[in-house]
Amino acid sequence: MEIDGEVIGEARTVTDVLEAAASHGIPIHDLDDPDAVRWVGGGKYTWTLH
């Protein structure tokens, strides 16, 4: 998972994404908002290893 271009860890679930964002001071209220979240290689329910 990246935040502002920096790799901060690995997310395996949507909950991981929300927790990591919150721990970096980024509240996410809408996982479909492209200004808040950019899904690469999948979506919020589809995961691909990179």
pLDDT digits (tens, 9 = 90+) for 16-48: 999 999 999 999 999 999 988 988 878 888 877
**Confidence label for 50 from pLDDT (cuts 50, 70 and 90):** low
Q: Where is pLDDT greater, at 48 or 15?
A: 15
- 13 pLDDT above the threshold of 90: no
What is the phi/psi pair of residue 3, to 5°?
A: -130, 120
The answer to whether 24 and 3 are in contact (CB under 8 A) is yes
Residues with Cβ within 8 Å of 32's Cβ and at least 6 positions away in sequence, in order, are: 44
Q: Give the tokens for residue 11.
A: 């997310």
**Domain locations along the chain:** 1-44
- The pLDDT score that the predictor gives to residue 18 is 93
